[in-house]
Amino acid sequence: MNRKYRKTVIAGNWKMNKTPAEAKELLEGILPLVKDADCDVVACVPFVDLSVALETTAGSNVKIGAENCHWEASGAYTGEISAPMLAAMEVPYVIIGHSERRTYFGETDVTVNKRVKAALANGLTVILCVGEYLEQREQGVTGEVVAMQTKIDLQGVSAEELKRVIIAYEPVWAIGTGKTATAEQANEVCAVIRRGAAGSARRRRRPHRRRFPEARGLRRDREGGLPLNRGQPSQESMMCTKGASSPVLDGRSLFL
């Protein structure tokens, strides 16, 4: 990875886990372990944990993120959280397009795009999740699927805004299955993502052009979505070490 242009990011998605008291205890345990980390460390927690998470990590190198946000600023959307609400709490990060949102809650690339633009408009840094299912990988269409997701999800996002987008490659087939995406597989997909993101930014500025060079410094790609077993090294944690030395991978997403 070329650190001149991109930073390493380690992000954890807590999903629907931890009460506020449990979140505080876990973060207090994490802080001394990462205090000297030479990368960006992000914990994305449930909405009810955001306040205590922000308080617990104040003044540290650990940043806090939300797990989703709606595209509207307000309205009759029961159970949803808006980007202005997160901005008012000074939450710096938000996950958008996670595979579980796409699978269980009807999220589409169109709605992902709306959420991305709302989050960016409110000053948030977006962790955008893209990735293929096992059937799509077996059919040999991984590149096409991820390229389409990247193009639609980032439609209308400028090159300047892309500086606040972290694209997380999330091989859905490797989450909780014991299967592991190799560094080589992740390299291939992240190259597709980088070209797609660069193309999205260039198309907005030069709609007549059809081919675009790689855009350096526009965003930090992360290969991830692989759970780590607590208490002992897992295949995924060992792969994390290999991936860290990759010229393409810029970090890991640890979905607990």
Question: Across residues 196-200, what is the average pLDDT?
Answer: 75
- pLDDT digits over 32-88, tens only? 999 999 999 999 999 999 999 999 999 999 999 999 999 999 999 999 999 999 999
Written as six digits, the tokens of 248 are 């393409």
Phi-psi region of 125 (alpha: psi -120 to 50; beta: other; left: phi over 0): beta
Catalytic residue among 67, 70, 98, 100: 98
Q: What is the DSSP string of 98-166?
A: -HHHHHHS---HHHHHHHHHHHHHTTPEEEEEE---HHHHHTT-HHHHHHHHHHHHTTT--HHHHTTEE
Q: Highest mean pLDDT: which of 141-145, 193-197, 237-241?
A: 141-145
At residue 221, does pLDDT exceed 50? no
Cα–Cα dist 59/71, whole Å: 30
pLDDT for 249 equals: 52
Q: Is residue 100 annotated as a catalytic residue, yes or no? A: no
Tens-digit pLDDT profile for residues 105-155: 999 999 999 999 999 999 999 999 999 988 999 899 999 999 999 999 999
Catalytic residue chosen out of the listed positions 67, 107, 170, 223: 170
Average pLDDT, the chain: 82
Q: Has 208 been annotated as catalytic?
A: no
